[in-house]
Structure 1
Amino acid sequence: MSSNPLRAASVGALLLLPALALAAPSTGGQPSLRLRWSDPNLIAPTTERDFDTQLTARLGRPAFAAGADEATLAVTWEGTPEQCRVELSLTRSAGEEGTRVIESPSGDCQSLVSALLTVSALLVDSYERSPPAEAAPVVVAPSQPAASAHPPGSPPPPQARILLSVGGALSSGFVPKLEIGPAAAVTWAPYGPLRLGVAGSWFIGHDYGEGPGLSLDHRRAALFVCGMPLSRSLGIGLCGNLGLHHFEASGTSLPRPEANSSTTWSLGAELRAEWRLTRRLWWVGHAGADMTTRPLYFYYLTAGGDAKNLFDQRRINPVLLVALSLELP
């Protein structure tokens, strides 16, 4: 029986179609991968939606499906805006298959976006090409930023920083009236929860008594050490301090008739709060009390030469400091 060559070629092509379909990679089906985005500290320079859009553009096909339950790519942002890292974890229904941690050498979050897209594209592509029973192949992050050598889930390495603070202070109990004056502090954070620093206050002087009366100035300098168990964008901790108080008087003597100045020491405890306003600016506050080691008493000499007792210092004296702080790396 004679055969039509065109018909034979058509039949042959039809027979080859199933084989070609099996050999070609699947790019047009519905994605079976779900995205789980986590940014608890609000440090990510991009959003979940923008990340999905950019990754889809890079792959040339949708990367994720909202209702997919076969596998999940988890993207977790950790650290601070200055010490930023991102962790990627690919999990199938059978369990976790691989985790990658990416850090920027400079610590800047924005520089991680390009590397995040590259590593995510490789993970998605390897997932789609590998059978469900096989583990995802090892993916090496690009050299810039380099993949972190820290174990998954561990906090980023601590980085020392300095806070320069300028503000105001209130004090009560060291002199007859409530005191107010400018204050400044320098705080060193060698690692996460620890704070070491020095603070100074220059309280505005007041006049007391009748002429010649007593004009009294008070200055305070203190060394402090703090533990900050809560030290993220809003941190709270407890401090101890050692204070030196200097008093100067005119028109009288303090504490002996021939003297016009005196000093005393104090020990104190304070609560410290830190609130991040921007990347480098913080509000910092101290609220506590100083306990004097040697309470002083104040008096002035009348025109007739008689000593008039004006005020006895209290043993425990409340102190408040509020300052705007600049963070130095």
Structure 2
Amino acid sequence: MSNAHHEHQSPIRTPKQLIAAVAAGFLVPIICIVLLVQYVANAEKVGAGSDGQTPEAIATRLRPVADEGFTMAGASGPKQLQTGEAVYKAVCAACHDTGAAGAPKTGDNGAWTARLGQGQAKLVENAVNGIRAMPAKGGNPDLDEVEVERAVVFMANQSGGKLKEPEAKAAAPAASAGAPAASEAGAQTASATAPLTSSPSQQSKAVADAGKVDGKKVYDTACAACHGAGIAGAPKLGDKENWAPRIKQGNATLYEHAIKGFQGKAGMMPAKGGSSASDEEVKAAVDYMTAASK
């Protein structure tokens, strides 16, 4: 009986034990809660060098700001229009400095009087569309009409005129740098999906042909204005006698003169004939002219 009595006794036998039990009953839950809160808080914190500092995480945090309409200008921004004097020197001077093919010389007020009487609009129309021996836009189709008008104003005002400088057009928004043009995208898609039915040798030949430049086309666009009529001392296409000493100089010299421009005794040729053709296109035009003049 004595043993049974002791088995049913409470573990708390003294006032100190009671106080300790009550304190533990309060402290243990509080400590558990504090530890749990610290664990949750530490799990959400991101320290330096952690995944939160990766470029992807930073971009994600900044995206709401970047989406507020701020855009970077594309590499191919609006075309920078040239001044009238720049266009004149590059395209018009070959004829208008010498009066070749009936072109009114810049500074010759008498030659410009009748033309100035036609009005600015008519002068610009003739310069843009071409008239008599002068090709459209002086032979450079890449010129903007505002650039052509600026060149006309420059020449006319150097020759007694008082024409008004044209206002520049508002620049069109540049196309997205990351999106290819529709035609380019279509070409890429067609190229990627087209079946390879030709042999490797045929494919190589097709690539080589695609890389060739049509010298005649470049000539018709940039060179015919002077070389077709022998303007400003330019040797006429097919004139073997005039071309013979030039051909003897070799292609390297002919290419250099055509690309960089040349000042001769009979006249001068502006760089690339006053056009925006590439070096390869100019070389192809020279090859065409020399082949047709041998």
TM-score (structure 2 length as normaliser): 0.21
TM-score (structure 1 length as normaliser): 0.20
Q: Which has the larger radius of gyration?
A: 2
Which one scores higher on RCO, CA 8 angstroms, separation ≥ 6? 2
